[in-house]
Amino acid sequence: MTLDQETRSQLLETLDRFVKERLIPAERAMAETGEMDQSILSEMRELGLYGISIPEEYGGLGLCLADEVEIAMCIGQAAPAFRSAFGTNVGIGSQAILIDGTDEQRRKYLPRLANGELVGSFCLTESSSGSDAGSLKATAKKDGDHYILNGTKRYITNAPTAGLFTVMARTDKTTTDGRGVSAFLVEADTPGVSVGKPEKKMGQQGAPVADVIFENCQIPAENLIGGKENVGFKTAMKVLDKGRIHISAVCTGLAGRILRDAVTYAKEREQFGEPIANFQLIQAMIADSETEIYAAKCMIRDVAKAKDRGENTKRRASCTKLFASEAVGRIADRAVQILGGAGYISEYGIEQLYRDARLFRIYEGTSQIQQLIIAKDVISSY
Ligand code: COS
């Protein structure tokens, strides 16, 4: 569904107020304790944020990607951990079911993902397979009308709060690449599933990340996504194609926030008898940052519309993720520079956002993986 102009503006205004009145003031406490305020999570549920991408027939808002990215840019203005709380339900924790799941799988899980009762999480990465995702070692062995799952997944976002895992595991032991991988839905309370201790991280405190361990975990055969073996790697790639566009929007929302904070500071801070915003070397950093934000927004809106039209956006999703995540890194770096000594001191908040932004160049595919995807696709097209 595409929102009409008025509904879209009203929704974005409401969310912008929520960001400024509720999320930004709660950032510091979350960064210090690593805990998200439960009342904020309830408000996010009430706002329908967990279900923005899930079709209305399953209880979500059923928004098109063009609307979803506007919401991601808006919420992205606050510390990224807030977006992460519901982001897996919107993206990597629900999309495999939506893209390749059976009707029964959709009916069973999507309504509870849409209202936030269930948190979805995506288990692809392992200790020995990060960028080379297809080489994963977790196994799923068919045993009558069940599969027996074994393996350990690493750095799994929202693992400690998840009720449902999308798990990629090898069903064809004769393979070592993506061709023998299948995708499964595993409920967190299934015997044999355990979650490790949340990792201590550089930033994004409040967005929990942990190992997920599967030990002789018996899952019903009907939880094989789409009922088809050995197509799970492709499912994961399709999920990431969309996820990378969404993440680009989060990067760009944060970039705008960081620039705003840096400009506010530059207008107040005086040196050599005047605000530092008057100095052209500061202005150059502001101008470069604004230009990159504008370019990223153009890419995001363009690729989101293309995906809504049903086009293959693999290359463009990677171009956008590469550009937007690298841009927010540069913008955060310039903001620290504009704030000078204050940029390095936690009281001013920029150093926290600088650390938060660092993850974007790594997760949902590193910048180098985006470059490989883009180059391979371009080379094969000429
Ligand atoms: N959509 C649909 N199918 C896709 C696809 C996509 N976006 N990308 C790849 N595929 C298909 C290919 O067409 C190929 O199919 P065939 O075997 O039928 O030809 C198959 O999947 C394997 O593709 P490819 O040969 O490109 O796989 P590689 O093992 O070379 O690796 C990369 C591909 C490196 C791009 C992949 O492993 C990757 O994205 N790694 C990063 C993982 C990541 O983002 N992790 C983040 C953590 S999860 S939040």
Percent of the chain with pLDDT over 70: 100
Residue among 86, 45, 12 at smallest CA distance from 246:
86
Q: Where in the chain is the domain with CATH 1.10.540.10?
A: 5-114
Please tell me the predicted confidence (pLDDT) of residue 257: 98
Span from the CA of 68 to the centroid of ligand 1 (angstroms)? 24
Q: How many whole angstroms separate alpha carbon 32 and alpha carbon 144?
A: 49
Q: Where in the chain is the domain with CATH 1.20.140.10?
A: 234-380
Span from the CA of 173 to the centroid of ligand 1 (angstroms)? 19
Each residue's pLDDT tens digit, 45-72 = 999 999 999 999 999 999 999 999 999 9
Domain at 120-228, CATH from 1.10.1200.10, 3.40.50.970, 3.40.190.10, 2.40.110.10: 2.40.110.10
* Helix (H) / strand (E) containing 73: helix 65-75
Mutation pick for ligand 1 pocket among 136, 170, 176, 237 (CB with most ligand atoms within 8 Å) = 237
Q: Residue holding tokens 């709380």?
A: 85
Please tell me the predicted confidence (pLDDT) of residue 1: 78
CATH architecture of 234-380: Up-down Bundle (1.20)
* C-alpha triplet 163, 166, 171: angle, nearest 5°: 135
Global pTM reads: 0.96
When pLDDT is cut at 50, 70 and 90, the band that residue 3 belongs to is: confident
Each residue's pLDDT tens digit, 175-196 = 999 999 999 999 999 999 999 9
What is the pairing mode between strands 164-170 and 209-220? unpaired
DSSP classification of residue 224: B
Q: Provide, for the chain, the percentages of residues in helix, strand and coil under a 3-state DSSP scheme, each rounded to the nearest 5.
A: 60, 15, 25
- Which residue's CA is the closest to the ligand 1 atom numbered 24? 178
Look at domain 5-114 and name its CATH class: mainly alpha
Average pLDDT over residues 269-280: 98
Q: How many whole angstroms separate alpha carbon 358 and alpha carbon 355?
A: 5
- Which residue's CA is the closest to the ligand 1 atom numbered 18? 179
Q: How many whole angstroms separate alpha carbon 321 and alpha carbon 245?
A: 6
In the residue annotation, 364 being an active-site residue is answered as yes
Each residue's pLDDT tens digit, 8-51 = 899 999 999 999 999 999 999 999 999 999 999 999 999 999 99
Please tell me the predicted confidence (pLDDT) of residue 2: 83
Q: Where in the chain is the domain with CATH 2.40.110.10?
A: 120-228
What is the overall mean pLDDT for the chain? 97
When pLDDT is cut at 50, 70 and 90, the band that residue 358 belongs to is: very high
Cβ atoms of residues 210 and 173 within 8 Å: no
pLDDT at 237 over 90: yes
Q: Residue holding tokens 């997760």?
A: 363
Average pLDDT over residues 153-164: 98
Q: Residue holding tokens 């893209």?
A: 99
Q: Residue holding tokens 């519901």?
A: 86
